[in-house]
Amino acid sequence: MKPPAFDYLRAESIAGALSAFQEKDGDAVYLAGGHSVVPSLNLRLQAPSSLIDISAIDTLSGISRHDGWLRIGAMTRHVDVLKNPEIGKHAPLFQAAAPHVAHPAIRNRGTIGGSLSLADPASEFPAVALALRAEMEVVNPQGLRRVPADDFFIDIFETDMESGEILQAVWIPPVQAGQVHAFDELARRQGDYAMVGVAISGILLAGILSEIRIAFLSVGNKPTRAVAAEAALIGLPVNAAAIAVAQEELEKDLDPPEDPQLPPAARKHMARVLLGRTLTTLGASA
């Protein structure tokens, strides 16, 4: 199908993009990589009067470090998340997840900012951002604010951003001594959206876990922390006994929706299996 007719505007600055959005009275959509917007136009899921292309705005690009934090500009393409050495060093969990995002053609155009702004509960990067305690740099006509990932993802395709706000960058906290990570997902075919996935970041020193964040994707309306499983692991070595307890505790954390293609019980079973695999990887990486 072809999209409905729309005006195309190419913004040169954040101020230009924000004021173009206001002039359209909100009847506009920002265009980043276009790999979610364009299919949704073609399927007539939305029909904005204007697309405001934000891909040429300088402040949305670049990967840099400030006081130990890593700042990844919103227009960073998935392929750069996969290959950039700074991300590999300071946010390796993103690189572990990136090969699971779609296919190379989509990774060449899709952006980290588009993925986080869209907040598809089946997407990899929102779960990674949650596991890493990332913060979102959001800009509006009044200025900037930083929103922790725990508060950013609100519901299916819904974030803390108001209509017209722009996600400018994602900030990753400094890597700590003993920090370990693991990512895995189950999909029907390589490159498909995950049926279930999990991103884990933890601190493992002298064989003992002192901190862990476990964030699942594709188990509910938004990326979901497994807080009971996390609590069961703190202060323990990551061995078979601890993993078994965490898998039991996961029952308290997940409540997947009814889905004729994948019943909740099957999804929970997959989540338990994935948790076992990723925790085993985590333990081995110490």
Ligand X SMILES: Cc1cc2nc3c(=O)[nH]c(=O)nc-3n(C[C@H](O)[C@H](O)[C@H](O)COP(=O)(O)OP(=O)(O)OC[C@H]3O[C@@H](n4cnc5c(N)ncnc54)[C@H](O)[C@@H]3O)c2cc1C
Q: In the complex, which residues of this chain contact ligand X (CB under 6 A)?
A: 29-37, 39, 54, 74, 101-102, 106, 110-111, 113-115, 117-118, 123-124, 166-167, 193
Nearer to ligand X (CB atom), residue 123 or residue 278: 123
The least distance separating ligand X from the CB of residue 201, rounded to whole angstroms, comes to 18
Q: How far is the CB of 235 from ligand X (least distance, A)?
A: 34
CA distance 197 to 216: 6
Comparing CB distances to ligand X, the nearer of 140 and 280 is 140
Closest distance between ligand X and the C-beta of residue 175, in Å?
24
Minimum Å gap between C-beta 104 and ligand X is 11
Name which of 11 and 32 has its Cβ closer to ligand X. 32
Angle made by CA atoms 208, 196, 93, in degrees to the nearest 5: 45
How far is the CA of 263 from the CAs of 6, 195, 267, 274, in angstroms? 39, 11, 6, 17
Task: Report H helices in 60-187.
Answer: 78-83, 85-90, 92-97, 104-107, 112-118, 124-131, 149-152
> What is the β-pairing status of strands 28-31 and 50-53?
parallel
**Could you tell me the smallest distance in angstroms from the CB atom of residue 243 to ligand X?**
27
Nearest CB to ligand X, comparing residues 95 and 247: 95
Whole-number minimum distance, CB 63 to ligand X, in Å?
15
CB-wise, 33 or 256, nearer to ligand X?
33
C-beta closer to ligand X: residue 158 or 255: 158
The most distant pair of C-alpha atoms in the chain lies apart, rounded to whole Å, by 61
Chain position carrying tokens 């598809």: 120
Burial class from Cβ neighbours inside 10 Å (0-12, 13-18, 19+) for residue 5 reads exposed
3-state DSSP assignment of residue 238: coil
